[in-house]
Structure 1
Amino acid sequence: MTGVDDTLSDLLMPLRLHSVFHSRWRARGPWAIQGEDESCAVIHYVLRNECCVSFAKDSSPITLREGDLAVFPHGTGHTIADRAIPHGTSLDAVLPDRRPGASGIVDIGTTGPATELLCGSLHYDAVSKPPVYQALPDVILLERGTLEKEPLLTRTLESITAETARDEPGTQLIVTRAFEMVFVLSLRVALENLAESSSELSALRHPGISRALLAIYREYAEPWTIDSLSRQAGMSRSAFTKAFRELVGEGPGQHLTKRRMQEAAMLLSETSVPQNTIPELVGYQSAVGFHLAFRKAFGLPPGEFRRQARESHASARPAAYSRRPRAGAGAGARS
């Protein structure tokens, strides 16, 4: 459905992946690795055999079989093991240095059938996270049969598997971009399926609300009002407002403000655009109104936000590419 694809593309566009820590690992015998919540997305791709994913909270364990892909959009803590078990050896204890941009290879055990996985932790800017992203579940499972219907996603996974075995110039950049492709393609497949069961995501399938969402995400700088957005949706003002709030979880004005603040934060943190021009660029005619909205959204004024972002970028150090074999230890289950 083209409308859904178009809306989804625009909703995901602000999400910018900036680095990946990835690891390939082989586990034999009884094993269990437990990772805590992390501020990044996590991917597990099973290359051989199978394993189980369990959560500390009450929920059924998930079995990952050869060819399955599991995506944890919010970095939710979980245990990955040879069997359903809620706890295991801490990932921090066996793989403490998981710097973005680095990689690792870890072996667990020496006897029994080997389970092989490709894992990655995908780091993105929190301010770039689209509102619809919050509606995603803790884990998205794409089974082998589903992946086989997605040739681009399958080929990209195959390419990552081959590329991570190389140690040549450009490998890290290629791997980062490939993981980004896997991430976005996985979200696209998942959102298409989840839209039928999630009220927030079903907004993508509503002909009127999806048009309004497209307008908000593509043309956030326009002087939108409830009336003009309802006309864009082809609905009456009352019907539009009611449907938008029921499906999206907030009013259209609030959603528009979030989109504008998201873009303002990007301009402040990633560009040198003069600060006094940003209000107009994101749809505000009043600098005072923009400052009030920005402070409410981020807890500090735009100037301080930019200063802190620049200090953060200045202090960041590029991570060196490294491969770290660790015998008898845990792999990057939440790597």
Structure 2
Amino acid sequence: METVGTDRHHPSDPLDPSDEDRHDDLLSELLKPLRLTGVFDSRWHVRAPWVIEGDAEPGCAVLHYVVQGHCWITADGEAPVELHTGDLVVFPTGTAHRLSDRPERRGVPLRAGLPERHPGTSGEIVIEGTGPESRLLCAGLHYATGAATGFYASLPWALVLDGHQVDREPLLRDTLRLLAAPDRPVGPGDRLVTLRAFEMALVLILRPLLRELAGTPASLPLLRHPGISRAVVTMATRFAEPWTIDSLAREVGMSRSAFTAAFRELVGESPARYLAARRMQEAGRLLTETSLPQSAVPARVGYRSAVGFHLAFRKWFGVTPGEYRAA
């Protein structure tokens, strides 16, 4: 299993302060657009022997936090990984996997134990065996796929933080413990609180892991390329400016051809598509989270033509800006 954890890799060369600042800026901007649209959370009380097989969950990050005991994470063609009390694993893009008390087990699909897993609801799995007991907090964190950057989609399929690493993030540790508590307070706005708590937990989980990846060139070479990483931050923060490929290349001190080729190689898509995605992310946010008049949105996200914005928006989201706001 290709996993990442901050105690499992070591940077090949030290970063100077300017590198660290640039990487922090880049990581912040890459995480900023990621907003959860719904969460299904569940608490598992299992005794060996047990196994749960989960399907792929597109548009959903999957989180497992071991409250007590241990479990194995396995997937076809991957090496198994054992988790203990306090450890957690996140599958950023919802890759199919299985959890069990022993890595060689095959068995019950998740949909059999939890047939309904709608965002905004909770569930429970109880398996009565004769062996050691384990308790887990599990969650499907649904996000708007249009808000997930190409960088996010390129993350390793499984990211692990062990208990010591979680303890070094007190806010994350305490949030997970609260969410895992069987007697968690319930009241008005509970689902919204749960949604935002998991959203904060996801960012707190990704932050140390991404910092480690920044020091591992083979994992995220984007963070080691000053021109392309600067371009990504520029498009993330200054998307309303009238950029062209030529002006972006000049901004980062590269030729057009070198810039385009390196960007596509490191980011996985063209600069034009990346910029369009960032503009559409912001347009969607403005339409759903603010009362800004719809007529003012195009200029705020870099479009000089309302017709051009309307056509681009409909092509990206499949609906008009008005329909998107109403929904």
TMscore range, shorter length:
0.7 to 0.9
Name the structure 2 match of 1:105.
Answer: 124
2:13 alignment counterpart: none
Q: Which moved more, 1:98-107 or 1:185-194?
A: 98-107
1:179 aligns with 2:179: no
Residue 49, structure 1, aligned to residue 65, structure 2: no
The question of 1:24 aligning with 2:40 is answered no
C-alpha displacement of 1:44: 0.4
Amino acid at match of 2:74: S
Indicate if the aligned counterparts of 1:221 and 1:260 stay in contact, CA closer than 8 A.
yes
TM-score (norm 1): 0.80
Q: State whether residues 79 and 88 of structure 1, in contact with CA within 8 Å, keep that contact through their aligned partners in structure 2.
A: no
Q: 1:236-272, CA deviations, whole angstroms, 9 ceiling, x for partnerless residues?
A: 5454334323322233222112211222334445555
Residue from 172, 175, 185 that aligns with 1:167:
185
1:311-330 equivalences in 2 (<5 Å) = 313=327
Amino acid at match of 1:210: S
**Contact 1:20/1:102 (8 A) holds in 2:** yes
1:86-105 aligned within 5 A: 87-105=106-124
- SS where residue 132 of structure 2 aligns? coil
Cα distance, 1:289 vs structure 2? 3.4
- Pick 1 or 2: higher relative contact order, CA cutoff 8 A, min separation 6: 1
State the one-letter code of the partner of 1:112: G
Question: Quick one: which amino acid aligns to residue 185 of structure 2?
Answer: D
Identity %: 50
| Shift in Å, 1:134 | 0.8
- How many pairs does the alignment contain? 306
CA distance 1:77–1:291, change in 2 (3 Å): same
Partner residue in 2 for 1:145:
164
Letter in 1 for 2:69: N
C-alpha deviation, 1:70, in angstroms: 0.4
Cα shift at 1:78:
1.6
Q: Is the 8 A contact 1:40 1:121 kept in 2?
A: yes
Find the partner of 1:211 among 219, 230, 240: 230
Long gaps (5+) in structure 1: 314-335
One-letter amino acid of the structure 1 residue matched with residue 184 of structure 2 = R
2:323 paired residue number: 307
Unaligned runs of 5+ in 2: 1-19
Aligned residue in 2 for 1:115: 134
Match of 2:228, as an amino acid?
A: I
- Are 2:20 and 1:4 aligned? no
Q: Distance in 2 between matches of 1:193 and 1:17?
A: 24
1:15 corresponds to which of 34, 44, 47: 34
Deviation at 1:148, TM superposition (A): 3.4
> What displacement does 1:125 show?
1.9
1:332 matched to which residue of 2?
none
Distance 2:204 2:224 in 1: 18
Query: 1:277 and 2:296 equivalent?
Result: yes
Counterpart CA distance in 2 for 1:214 and 1:254 is: 15
| Secondary structure, counterpart of 1:127 in structure 2 | helix
Counterpart-to-counterpart distance in 2, 1:297 and 1:167: 40
- The CA distance in 1 between the partners of 2:121 and 2:277, in whole Å, is 33
Query: What residue identity is the alignment partner of 2:283?
Result: A
Question: Aligned equivalents of 2:219 and 2:302: distance in 1?
Answer: 25
**8 Å contact kept, 1:42–1:121:** yes
The 3 A distance-change label for structure 1 pair 219 and 77 is same
Distance 2:219 2:312 in 1: 24
Instruction: Identify the residue that residue 101 of structure 2 maps to in structure 1.
Output: 82
| 252, 266, 272: which one aligns with 1:253 | 272
Query: Is 1:131 aligned to residue 147 of structure 2?
Result: no
Q: 3-state DSSP class of the match of 2:71?
A: strand
Distance 1:98 1:115 in 2: 22
- The code of the aligned residue for 1:34 comes to E
Deviations 1:140-163 (A, max 9, x none): 11122333333333333233334x
TM-score, structure 2 length as denominator? Answer: 0.82
CA distance in 2, matches of 1:169, 1:268: 29
Instruction: Describe the SS at the equivalent of 1:222.
Output: coil
